[in-house]
């Protein structure tokens, strides 16, 4: 990824999801049963399909805004000493999440050959981005989802800002149907309601906010806390959360409020599901050209351009020499074209409906010979 671009800015394009099943050794009370493993993975896939359905219902021309590629890894680990059960106390929730997760997360990361802590999660996400997926795909965004039966500070949560993008699912709590998991006085969503929770947490990964009033009358946030690249000049991504339930009688049920299968009013804009020029192609963060291959040649030569958000290409320029022949979109990250007539060493730029790429001296220059 280009410098300054996180792995989870917009829910657009190819998204790599790395599922890490953190299991216990056979016979351990925290080990998954075959049914639990099968069911939780099915629920994750159903959550992805729910998001796809919401994209179709909330985007211009009813298009699928993204595609998921999924990697599943399962590791058997023993947590480090001192792992305590959760209390369900909202006043200690953040501290309990911070305290409990490393006990099993770090052994799982180490078992995968990765570093402990946030660095290991970052390494896992980076590997998802650099992997060549079936069909020659490369992902634009990536995040990791840990699923475990070991104790966690909450039934499900996401870390979209200030840390590598990840979701944590504590299987037993999330699938609880008693309303009082492990004495916490907090129940889950049943074994067959985890799909909506996974979709909700994935919403957080891409910047969507909780829209319900928190415990002890804590207010839900009312602005987008993720500092994202602008989608379009004049369009801000500090999106006001008009559906925040606090002191808002007009607040409606939605995915980020009650895990219902519909989107809250401002969520599509946060995800980047907009088409400002009405050409039927979702607008996105401005194009970033990373590589020109080859970097020298003559008019008529075949040239490949690689970068980010190139699929909505409107024009390509070699300095002041525009490409006038058809441009082939290989993928959202690669274009193929024919070099125009020109002279000298010039900067190559790609223009989409969002704007033009900026020159990257050395990497995006071309010399006519």
Question: Is residue 161 very low, low, confident or very high in pLDDT (cuts 50, 70, 90)?
Answer: low
- What average pLDDT score do residues 273-289 get? 65
- What average pLDDT score do residues 324-350 get? 91
The pLDDT score that the predictor gives to residue 236 is: 40
The pLDDT score that the predictor gives to residue 66 is: 87
Is residue 32 predicted with pLDDT exceeding 80?
A: yes
The pLDDT score that the predictor gives to residue 189 is: 96
The pLDDT score that the predictor gives to residue 53 is: 93
Which residues, 6+ apart, have CB-to-CB distance to 37 below 8 Å?
Answer: 21, 74
The pLDDT score that the predictor gives to residue 38 is: 97
Q: How far is residue 251 from each of residues 151, 182, 241, 248, 262, measured CA to CA in Å?
A: 34, 32, 10, 6, 13
Which residues, 6+ apart, have CB-to-CB distance to 18 below 8 Å?
Answer: 70, 71, 73, 124, 125, 127, 128, 142, 143, 144, 145
The pLDDT score that the predictor gives to residue 12 is: 82
| pLDDT tens digits, one per residue of 91-124 | 899 999 999 999 999 999 999 999 999 999 999 9
For residue 273, give both structure tokens: 């599901």
DSSP per-residue letters across 179-213: SSGGGSS-----TTSHHHHHHHHHHHHTTPPP-S-
Is residue 55 predicted with pLDDT exceeding 70?
A: yes
Rounded Cα gap, residues 123 and 116, in angstroms: 10
For residue 292, give both structure tokens: 């020109």
The pLDDT score that the predictor gives to residue 277 is: 59
Place of tokens 């999106």: 239
The pLDDT score that the predictor gives to residue 196 is: 97
E strand or H helix at 290: strand 288-293
For residue 257, give both structure tokens: 């409020």
The pLDDT score that the predictor gives to residue 217 is: 43
Is residue 198 predicted with pLDDT exceeding 80?
A: yes
Which class for 18: exposed (0-12), middle (13-18), buried (19 or more C-beta within 10 A)? buried
DSSP per-residue letters across 71-101: EEEEEE--PPTT-------GGGHHHHHHHHH
The pLDDT > 70 percentage for the chain reads: 85
pTM, two decimal places: 0.75
- What average pLDDT score do residues 270-284 get? 65
- What average pLDDT score do residues 132-146 get? 90
The pLDDT score that the predictor gives to residue 224 is: 56
Rounded Cα gap, residues 352 and 227, in angstroms: 22
| pLDDT tens digits, one per residue of 209-260 | 888 887 444 567 666 555 555 544 434 445 567 788 887 777 889 999 999 9
Window from 1-5, 274-278, 299-303 with minimum mean pLDDT: 1-5
Answer yes or no: are the C-beta atoms of 322 and 348 closer than 8 Å: no
Rounded Cα gap, residues 144 and 259, in angstroms: 21
């Amino acid at each position: 990824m280009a410098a300054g671009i996180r792995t989870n800015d917009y829910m657009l394009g190819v998204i790599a999801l790395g599922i890490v099943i953190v299991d216990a050794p056979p016979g351990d009370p925290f080990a998954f049963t075959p049914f639990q493993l099968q069911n939780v993975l099915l629920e994750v896939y159903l959550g992805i399909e729910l998001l796809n359905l919401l994209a179709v219902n909330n985007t211009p021309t009813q298009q699928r805004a993204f595609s998921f590629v999924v990697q599943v890894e399962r590791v058997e680990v023993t947590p480090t000493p001192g792992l305590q059960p959760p209390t369900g106390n909202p006043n200690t929730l953040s501290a309990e999440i911070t305290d409990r997760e490393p006990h099993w997360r770090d052994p799982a990361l180490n078992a995968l050959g990765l570093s402990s802590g946030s660095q290991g999660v970052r390494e896992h996400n980076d590997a998802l981005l650099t992997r060549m997926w079936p069909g020659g795909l490369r992902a634009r965004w990536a995040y990791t989802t840990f699923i475990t039966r070991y104790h966690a500070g909450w039934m499900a949560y996401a870390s979209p800002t200030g840390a590598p993008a990840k979701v944590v699912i504590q299987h037993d709590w999330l699938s609880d149907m008693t309303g009082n998991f492990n004495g916490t006085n907090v129940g889950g969503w049943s074994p067959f309601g985890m799909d909506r929770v996974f979709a909700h947490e994935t919403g957080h990964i891409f910047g969507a906010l909780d829209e319900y009033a928190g415990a002890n009358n804590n207010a839900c946030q009312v602005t987008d806390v993720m500092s994202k690249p602008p989608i379009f000049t004049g369009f801000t991504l500090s999106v006001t959360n008009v559906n925040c339930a606090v002191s808002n009688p007009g607040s409606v049920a939605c995915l980020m409020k009650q895990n219902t299968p519909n989107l809250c009013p401002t969520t599509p804009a946060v995800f980047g599901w907009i088409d400002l020029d009405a050409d039927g192609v979702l607008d996105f963060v401005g194009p970033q050209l990373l590589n020109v291959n080859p970097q020298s040649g003559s008019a008529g030569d075949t040239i490949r351009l690689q970068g980010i958000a190139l699929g909505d290409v409107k024009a390509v320029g070699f300095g002041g020499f525009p490409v006038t022949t058809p441009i082939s979109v290989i993928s959202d990250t690669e274009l193929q074209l024919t070099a125009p007539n020109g002279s000298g060493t010039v900067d190559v730029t790609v223009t989409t409906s969002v704007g033009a790429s900026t020159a990257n001296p050395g990497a995006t220059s071309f010399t006519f010979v």
